[in-house]
Amino acid sequence: MKKYLVIGNPIKHSLSPRLHNYWIKKNKINATYEKKKLNQNDIEQIIRDVKDGKISGINVTVPFKKKVIPYLDQLTNQAKKTQSVNTIYLKNNETVGHNTDIEGFEESIKYAKFDIKGKNIMILGAGGVVSSIIFALKNMGALSITISNRTKDKAEKLKKIFESIKVINWGNIPSVDMIINATSVGLNAEDKINLDFSKIQNKFFYDIIYNPSETNFLNTGKKFNNKTLNGKMMFIYQAFHAFKIWHNLSPKIDNEIIKLLDND
């Protein structure tokens, strides 16, 4: 039986096993998918287990998406450019690090039927997933990308990779066509980003968080008549692409899948 894992720390709340095991069962694949809490010094061994065929694939989540890189034989272009790996597999006896968060984000935008081309986009936060979002937004033809992070230094680091982005101080929310919350503020239902969003009306509010399904950020967006989307579809599509790489087939995304991830 093939063995797959999602690694992170903390990992208790990951819904990846629920999703992958559902698809494994539906497609009658002889495999298991489990979550594993790791410490940084366990990374080398677990990647060696992929090389030795003991583990067939790994999803990587916070805080290891960058930390796994030194231990891999190869990176795909997407992983290289974003310095972020969320999917590991073995190809021609070499461990490969790939990033399906990019496609996950892109396809969630298509799902929402929003056209990024020519739009001014603002991202709040500069954590692990933001380089994937920038990469995807550029792919989709965004006109401008503005980043604001509480710790400005971290946003400046992203500018070293993506020179065309604009970094502004935390606090000022300009008028844009789309705003994305990529901070962890909202993971607790009572969390609130204490900024004035009133310049953004009849536009698009996107939150990477999907549990809770409606953060205060999305709720504020709704009050100003904006379209809103949470991170659930991005999560489903990144998993879809990892599954496709590992099992060489496209699992079905239907309402049952979407309901499967409803936790609140």
- Enzyme catalytic residues: 65
Q: Kindly tell me which of 55 and 134 has the beta carbon lying closer to ligand ATR.
A: 134
Residues that bind ligand ATR in the complex, under the rule CB under 6 A = 62-63, 125-129, 149-151, 154, 183-185
Q: Which is nearer to ligand ATR, 24 or 133 (CB)?
A: 133
Q: Which residues pair with 94 in a beta bridge?
A: 91
The Cα 194–Cα 160 span in angstroms is: 28
CB of 51 to ligand ATR, least distance (A): 27
> Are the CB atoms for 206 and 227 separated by under 8 Å?
no
Give the integer Cα–Cα distance in Å for 207 and 180: 6
CA distance 192 to 256: 31
- The encoded tokens of residue 249 equal 């087939």
Residue whose tokens read 């060489």: 248
Residue 65, CA distances (Å) to 9, 46, 171, 202 in order: 11, 14, 28, 35
Comparing CB distances to ligand ATR, the nearer of 151 and 225 is 151
Report the chain's terminal Cα–Cα distance, integer Å.
33
If one counts every other C-beta atom within 10 angstroms of the C-beta of residue 195, the result is 14
> Would you say 62 or 90 has its CB closer to ligand ATR?
62
Beta bridge mates, 250: none
